[in-house]
Structure 1
Amino acid sequence: MAAFEWFVSLRYLRAKRKQKFISLITIISILGVAVGVLALIVVLSVYTGFTEGLRDQIIGVNAHALVQRFGTAITDTEAVTAAIEAVPGVEATTPYMYGQALISSATQSTGVVLRGIDAASAMRVLSIGEKMVAGQLTDLDKPAEVPAIVLGRDMARQIQVGVGDRVRLISPNGPLSPMGVLPKIRTCVVVGLFETGMFEYDSTMGYINLDTARSLTDLRRGVHGIEVRVRDIDQADRTAAAIQQALGHGYAVRDWMQLNRNLFAALKLEKIGIFIALDLIILVAALNIISALIMMVMEKNRDIAILKSMGATTRAIMRIFFYQGMVIGLAGTVLGVAGGLGLCGLLKRYKIIELPSNVYPMSTMPIKVVPLDVTVIAVSAILITLFATLYPSWKASRVRPAEALSYE
């Protein structure tokens, strides 16, 4: 029986001369589904690529997880580092210090966020060493008469300095005197410049070694915290929980998801909104399918009556028109998936669309095709189109042979 229903439904899809208008609506319905699926795949792939590119930029400057002690510095750095590195999933650690100061050159001055690091271990945890456009990050630890500093390229332009120039750091964390708090002042030489592609970092941040950082703060020993690199960034929350359990109470362990929770939650919500908005294109195509099938039912009233008179059941008639809608939906979905993946491949390979580097953290349109997203898009398109066939199929099954043939 199924072969008979398939034969009739495919026969109906091949329109005769007087049914060209119905055939045109069918083609429009297939193209509507295809365009909706294609748009969803391309837009979500671009959005996923942008999100992951932004994530990589943020994680590159910051660690995967951050360990701090409540209310005080970590003084037993070696013991805490050993306990962290013993946790499964941890690849490397590096101590850090944090502070703010005023940086001034011979002509300009501005605020700077200072990060005191151990350059040797920081190279294993952070990717800032790969972002250097002048000098090397390890130059911070080289012995010299004047302490070294590495600045973001935008900050260096702002205060008009380059590699080899001297800058002055003025920290408010000085001793208290009868005249008030005396600022701490250190002269440093610029040994390198970095560029992450994110203006917020390149225009505000500077790196110094731990000894220089201590000379600008009240902290004589220990560090403010320990940065951690994990093996799997998608499992950073689980690794952070394991570190928290290993260190016990008194420590706060936060992974990159917690540190940037608001940003990535907003991006995830926008992705869902885009998916729903573009799904409306498929919904419009589904309405075209409904109209095409209803007109076909009206055109085929006499044929349906004859089929019923010859013994076709109500369910068989329903399946005939259901199969028609299913063929339209599957054809549109397959065309859309093929077109979407093909277009994503072209954009990714040839990098046709370039982005302004001073606005976005990447230079070309990012593309990241996620198989799960493609599967969800294809399944949702098929389900929408199948749902659209239910009413026309039910309408066809309700045709009464006596009424349909009474005017013949």
Structure 2
Amino acid sequence: MLLTPFEWTIAKRYMLPGRGEAFIALVAGISLAAVMLGVAALVIVMSVMNGFRAELLDKIVGLNGHAIIQAYGGRLDNWQSILADVEKTPGVVRASPLIEQPLLGNFNGRVEAVLVRGNTLTDIRRLEDKRVSGSLADLQPGAGKVAIGARLAENLGARVGDTITIINPQGRSTPFGTVPREIGYEVAAIFEIGIFDYDQAYVVMPIADAQTLLLTGDSIGMIEVKTTDPDEVTQILEPLQKKLAGRAVISDWKTINASLFEALAVERVAMFVVLSIIVLVAVFNILSSLIMLVRAKTRDIAIMRTMGATRKSLLRIFVTLGFVIGALGTAAGLLLGFVFLFFRQPIVHAIERLTGQSLWDPSIRFLTELPSRTDPFETTVICIMALGFSFLATLYPAYRAASTDPVQVLRYE
């Protein structure tokens, strides 16, 4: 909408009301601040929720792959042939044998539930970027060394070089009953994945050591599969599912974590709708401020009409006024939102120090830090929505201003 010099001059004059119109200026300022806060809240919340989903997916998939192939009964015999079929499947990037078994860990009288994870040496090396201390290269078959999660190390009080005991209840049978199998392993490395539940339970060791500990022979627990596209994992592995019918079942990351990601999706939509109402309320403030401005400027509008101003000119002037308020509020909201997201972790820590409350408990939130990932498309939708609402809010006041009858207003002047 292009304004003539006359229209732009009047619009700039009305953007900064005079002394007698301080209340109108206050309402307009509140409208701008409300739009700013609404847009900022939407950007912050949606970015955090997108970040939470993306980080959770990256960490879960990065550790467990996009799907797992597990035999009925939990033991996969003759797994080499199955592994070969998986690797030949189009769309499969990587397939690795895996053993996972919940057991008990003991160190200096402290006992914790652990999840023993037997990996190939190649998969163990992929934890290098998560390593906090020690050396993953020391984890070799038969070396009697393991890597443990950072939270588990804290709970047990163990450090690199200490020896922890892994207890397997399925031990040797004796005349006096079953004797649990207890084997000591030296802690060679400590890692931090970033998911609390994993960091407080995982004990990683070479797959051959896990087979020895669990007395499983050459069998494994499952095969971990990574594909070219995690969202298309079901379609990619569908031909393989037919081959393995009756022998094993394929579970992808969507099935394994269905309840978690469905809850996140529902919450994401709900938060977007609720926070959009804040922007809508802010737009009503723009509407009310423009209505008050039109009433306060009725005489000026009538004079402009008698001097030749057209209805379209008045319509454009007041639409521009409200739209500028909405645009400035939207821009300020984006800036505020991005600043908050950039300094989100220090802000969280500052609020925790002021209130004495823990706002981000990793044991509840899964992740150790507040995540963020801004989606350009969503940000664009938020801006268009705020600007669209602001434009719609200007139509009624602008129509009232354009409909002013100069004869009625100036009759007794």
Q: How does 1:292-371 map to 2 (within 5 A)?
A: 292-306=289-303, 317-345=314-342, 347=343, 352-353=346-347, 359-360=361-362, 366-371=371-376
Distance, in Å, in 1 between the alignment partners of 2:104 and 2:237 is 35
Look up the match of 1:263.
Answer: 260
Q: 1:72 to 1:287 in 2, by over 3 A?
A: closer
Q: Is the 8 A contact 1:333 1:381 kept in 2?
A: yes
Look up the match of 2:279.
Answer: 282
| Segment drifting more, 33-42 vs 378-387 | 33-42
Gaps in structure 1 of 5+ consecutive residues: none
Q: Residue 379 of structure 2 aligns to which amino acid in structure 1?
A: V
Deviations 1:273-321 (A, max 9, x none): 4434443443333222112111122123234445556776656544442
1:329: Cα distance to partner?
A: 1.4
- The SS at the match of 2:100 is strand
Count the aligned residue pairs: 396
Q: Is the 8 A contact 2:132 2:189 kept in 1?
A: yes
Distance, in Å, in 1 between the alignment partners of 2:338 and 2:359 is 26
Deviations 1:111-144 (A, max 9, x none): 3222222223443xxx434333344334333434
Q: 1:274 to 1:6 in 2, by over 3 A?
A: farther
Distance, in Å, in 2 between the alignment partners of 1:184 and 1:211 is 20
Q: Is the 8 A contact 2:148 2:202 kept in 1?
A: yes
Distance, in Å, in 2 between the alignment partners of 1:3 and 1:191 is 73
1:382: Cα distance to partner?
A: 0.9
Q: Residue 257 of structure 1 aligns to which amino acid in structure 2?
A: K
Q: Is the 8 A contact 2:147 2:191 kept in 1?
A: no
Q: Residue 285 of structure 2 aligns to which amino acid in structure 1?
A: N
Look up the match of 2:380.
Answer: 375
Q: How does 1:6-405 map to 2 (within 5 A)?
A: 6-7=7-8, 8-71=10-73, 73-105=75-107, 107-123=109-125, 127-144=126-143, 147-174=144-171, 182-196=178-192, 197-217=194-214, 219-231=216-228, 235-248=229-242, 249-250=244-245, 251-306=248-303, 317-345=314-342, 347=343, 352-353=346-347, 359-360=361-362, 366-405=371-410
Q: Residue 239 of structure 1 aligns to which amino acid in structure 2?
A: V
Deviations 1:316-369 (A, max 9, x none): 544442232222212222232244335545x28xx6447589944777654433
Q: Is the 8 A contact 1:244 1:252 kept in 2?
A: no
Q: Residue 187 of structure 1 aligns to which amino acid in structure 2?
A: I
TM-score w.r.t. structure 1 length? 0.80
Q: Is the 8 A contact 1:6 1:323 kept in 2?
A: no
- The SS at the match of 1:282 is helix
Q: Is the 8 A contact 1:96 1:116 kept in 2?
A: yes
Q: Is the 8 A contact 1:241 1:253 kept in 2?
A: no
| Segment drifting more, 1-10 vs 190-199 | 1-10
Distance, in Å, in 2 between the alignment partners of 1:313 and 1:358 is 58
- The SS at the match of 1:91 is strand
Q: Is the 8 A contact 1:67 1:226 kept in 2?
A: yes
Q: Is the 8 A contact 1:164 1:189 kept in 2?
A: no
Look up the match of 2:355.
Answer: none
Q: Residue 369 of structure 1 aligns to which amino acid in structure 2?
A: T
Distance, in Å, in 2 between the alignment partners of 1:161 and 1:258 is 35
Gaps in structure 2 of 5+ consecutive residues: 350-357
Distance, in Å, in 1 between the alignment partners of 2:71 and 2:411 is 89
Q: Residue 114 of structure 2 aligns to which amino acid in structure 1?
A: V
- The SS at the match of 1:36 is helix
Q: 1:47 to 1:333 in 2, by over 3 A?
A: same
